Amino acid sequence: MKLITMKELLDDATNKDIAVAAINISNMETIIALLEVAEKMDTSVIIQVAPIQLDIQNINYEQITEMVKLFMKDRNIKACLHLDHATSVDDCIKAIDAGFTSVMYDGSTDDYEINKSNTKRVVKYAKGKGVTVEAELGCVGGNEGESGDSNHKSQLTDPKQVVDFITYTDVDCLAVSIGNAHGMYKGEPKLDFELLGEIHKSANIPLVMHGGTGIPQDDLDKAISLGIRKINFFTEVDREFVKGFVGAYNNDNNIYMMAAQEAGRQLMMKEIESKLAICNR
């Protein structure tokens, strides 16, 4: 099937009062793993990748787009290709031009007015191309894909800014900071559901939770009931691939790379299945 926009997926999730899982991919094996599990479970999925992932592997936006489209072609699922955590307007434009159907401009560490202004620039360009835009208000702590959640201090979303931000930017969905963090939590995460409830009352668009790794199921269920429609998962899924790959080598140091990759993919698929199930209860 062809890629669709994230707005279509989130609108459908809103109607069903569920969320859509957003899983980061890094290479061919991880793309195939995600699509295979999503089709098996007959569920929609957000395929996402951050600029830092592409930079590390020297892959450009056009290449990852063509790879995803190739492996999507024979899959009977609804999915979008989303740019995760782009901190520059230029990266968003490059991804849109390359065929991404959704982008996130992350101005969460910028001054509020700069975040608003740059988000609006991305939205203006994206709307003309039929592409969904996600933004972040407040600042989710930690680093995507790293163990440890204290590299960057969290700044909770100010509910008083929500209406102004959405009205000014015309953004499609909003990532919020309510005590969630990227990476592996050092202790049990404490989400501020009262704050989320205030944000949900003010916002007329789907809300996004970053740092889904490690949040208990009951808390995720409650967050979904309060307007969270997209939940990001990266760290645990990524770690399972690494564990499978390294474990295969440790068990047999004569193993070929393709067999080690498949061992990593199989472990990753089990973790993806659990994440997709979380959002479809």
The alpha carbon of 179 is separated from its chain's Cα centroid by a whole number of angstroms, namely: 17
Contact 224, 191 (CB under 8 A): no
What percent of the residues of the chain are helix, what percent strand, and what percent coil, each to the nearest 5?
Answer: 50, 15, 35
Going from the C-alpha of 104 to that of each of 41, 95, 131, 161, 164, the distances in angstroms are 26, 10, 11, 19, 19
Nearest partner of 98 among 78, 81, 84, judged by Cα: 81
Query: CA-based Rg of the chain, rounded to a whole angstrom?
Result: 18
Can you point out the beta strands (E) in 102-156? 102-105, 132-137
Nearest partner of 122 among 99, 81, 91, judged by Cα: 91
Contact 133, 123 (CB under 8 A): yes
Return the residue matching tokens 């009352």. Answer: 201
Count of positions (residues) in the chain: 281
Nearest partner of 144 among 267, 233, 216, judged by Cα: 233
Selected catalytic residue, list 17, 55, 84, 149 = 84
Q: In whole angstroms, give the CA distance from residue 17 to residue 192.
A: 20
Residue 218 annotated as catalytic: no
- Active site positions, annotated: 84
